């Protein structure tokens, strides 16, 4: 994104023009950025050609998934809904892994029927349920076990998943017991060990630690895992203060791991593929003066982008048309929802805004639209894909009739 003649422009399209045409709030994705992210991700790990399963929870837009599929990516799904969406996008079932702590019997049945690559189980009870269902179908099912490596990902507490106090995966003792159970089962083929220690990880060292923990456990068990699924979690730079994840060091740690373990690596990235490819355009409805600050009341709210309210996440915000006038007062960007946490961010210095101006909330491609809701019975925004000067609506704005 850059300013051309003071207009914030992505690829060859300026946001003012598309906002006028498609309305606001509007999710805009850059095809070029998406492509660049996928190519870079592959390049970072090209020495061992991993299977890359896009974490659909980060962005569930069907048309976007179809584009992602064209680059040969598979999918990591966590519900029957996501599995249906992945299949609808044309993703080969043989490239789909199913994660999640609470898969229902119906979901397990459905996943078996669709012959997906792996069901990554997260408890002994789930393994027994898969075994029971597979037995009743007289089938053998490929599964993975998600290990909780008790590794601190050094990320936000709310998105940390690999510590022993987190609900995810099984501890090493249960892991050993499950291996024995699987060995004695005719209906389970234990093919994978999976881990996922958290999200928005910017330091490679937790990954190193996780690989060491996995390696120690693998050496203790007499079992050949065809796959090791390392999950996702690779962070992006939401602000200039965020350091960049050192992919080189992560790659080196994996290569070292692969020297003593002959296996195929799976990744489940979400944010690193779509995060910085998405921007939310919002319009200033009103400006309300208060004693110390001005409330910039937008037509986008926490139902459209939940990350700030949910995690205190900060998204860089830019004016769509640039001017040189800086506001004397602090701006607090808020939405119209009846919650005090419906607040995007507070800035001391922003260019002076007036009602009807547009702003761009950056890096919302991951966990933006996918976490949106109809709270306050607000309509979900439209989504568009920008490719050069071409603009395609990839999801229509909801209508009130959709809500009834």
Q: Which residues are catalytic?
A: 338
Q: How far is the CB of 57 from ligand LLP (least distance, A)?
A: 6
CB nearer to ligand LLP: pick between 142 and 194 = 194
* Interface region with ligand LLP, contact rule CB under 6 A, candidates 6-14, 15-23, 227-235, 322-330: 227-235
Q: If binding is defined by CB under 6 A, does position 83 make contact with ligand LLP?
A: no
Residue 275 to residue 314: CA distance in whole angstroms: 13
Instruction: Report how far Cα 357 is from the mean position of its chain's Cα atoms.
Output: 30
Residue ranges of E strands in 31-140: 51-55, 74-77, 96-98, 118-121
Q: If binding is defined by CB under 6 A, does position 149 make contact with ligand LLP?
A: no
Q: If binding is defined by CB under 6 A, does position 270 make contact with ligand LLP?
A: yes
Q: If binding is defined by CB under 6 A, does position 196 make contact with ligand LLP?
A: yes
Residue 10 to residue 33: CA distance in whole angstroms: 10
Residue 223 to residue 189: CA distance in whole angstroms: 11
Residue 149 to residue 329: CA distance in whole angstroms: 48
Q: If binding is defined by CB under 6 A, does position 308 make contact with ligand LLP?
A: no
Q: Cβ(138)–Cβ(188) under 8 Å?
A: no
CB nearer to ligand LLP: pick between 100 and 319 = 100
Query: Percentages helix, strand, coil for the chain, rounded to the nearest 5?
Result: 35, 25, 40
Q: How far is the CB of 214 from ligand LLP (least distance, A)?
A: 15
Nearest CA among 385, 398, 391, 404 for reference residue 61: 385
CB nearer to ligand LLP: pick between 13 and 37 = 37
Binding track over 318-357 against ligand LLP, x by CB under 6 A: ----------------------------------------
Question: Could you tell me the CA-to-CA distances from 287 to 175, 298, 299 in Å, in that order?
Answer: 56, 9, 12
Binding to ligand LLP (CB under 6 A) within 358-377 occurs at 366-367
* Interface region with ligand LLP, contact rule CB under 6 A, candidates 59-67, 262-270, 276-284, 331-339: 262-270
Which spans of this chain sit near ligand LLP (rule: CB under 6 A)? 55, 58, 76, 99, 159, 196, 199-200, 231-234, 268-272, 307, 311, 366-367
């Amino acid at each position: 994104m850059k300013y051309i003649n003071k207009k914030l422009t992505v690829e060859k399209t300026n946001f003012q023009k598309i906002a006028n045409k498609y309305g606001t709030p509007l999710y805009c994705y850059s095809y070029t950025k998406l492509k660049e992210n996928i190519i870079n991700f592959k390049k970072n790990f090209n020495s061992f050609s991993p299977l890359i399963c896009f974490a659909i929870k980060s962005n569930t837009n069907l048309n976007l998934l179809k584009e992602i599929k064209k680059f040969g990516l598979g999918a990591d799904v966590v519900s029957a809904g996501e599995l249906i969406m992945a299949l609808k996008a044309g993703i080969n079932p043989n490239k789909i892994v199913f994660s999640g702590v609470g898969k229902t019997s119906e979901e397990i049945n459905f996943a078996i029927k669709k012959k997906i690559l792996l069901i990554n189980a997260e408890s002994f009870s789930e393994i027994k349920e898969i075994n029971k269902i597979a037995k009743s179908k007289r089938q053998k099912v490929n599964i993975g076990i998600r290990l909780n490596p008790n590794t601190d990902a050094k990320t936000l507490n709310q998105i940390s998943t690999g510590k022993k106090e987190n609900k995810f995966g099984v501890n090493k003792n249960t892991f050993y017991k499950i291996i024995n159970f699987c060995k004695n089962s005719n209906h389970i083929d234990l093919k994978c060990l999976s881990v996922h220690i958290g999200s928005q990880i910017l330091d490679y060292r937790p990954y190193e630690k996780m690989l060491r923990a996995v390696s120690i456990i693998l050496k203790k068990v007499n079992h050949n895992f065809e796959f090791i699924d390392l999950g996702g979690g690779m962070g992006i730079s939401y602000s200039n203060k965020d350091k960049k994840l050192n992919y080189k060091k992560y790659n080196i740690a994996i290569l070292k791991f692969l020297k003593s373990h002959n296996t195929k690596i799976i990744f489940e990235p979400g944010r690193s593929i779509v995060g910085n490819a998405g921007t939310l355009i919002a319009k200033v409805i009103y400006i309300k003066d208060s004693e110390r600050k001005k409330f910039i009341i937008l037509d986008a709210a926490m139902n459209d982008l939940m990350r700030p309210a949910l995690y205190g996440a900060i998204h860089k915000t830019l004016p769509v048309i640039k001017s040189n006038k800086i506001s004397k007062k602090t701006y607090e960007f808020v939405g119209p929802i009846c919650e005090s946490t419906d607040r995007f961010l507070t800035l001391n210095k922003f260019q002076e805004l007036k009602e009807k101006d547009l702003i761009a909330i950056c890096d919302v491609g991951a966990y933006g639209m996918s976490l949106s809701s109809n709270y306050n019975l607000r309509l979900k925004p439209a989504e568009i894909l920008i490719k050069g000067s071409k603009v395609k609506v990839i999801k229509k704005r909801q209508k009130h009739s959709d809500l009834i």
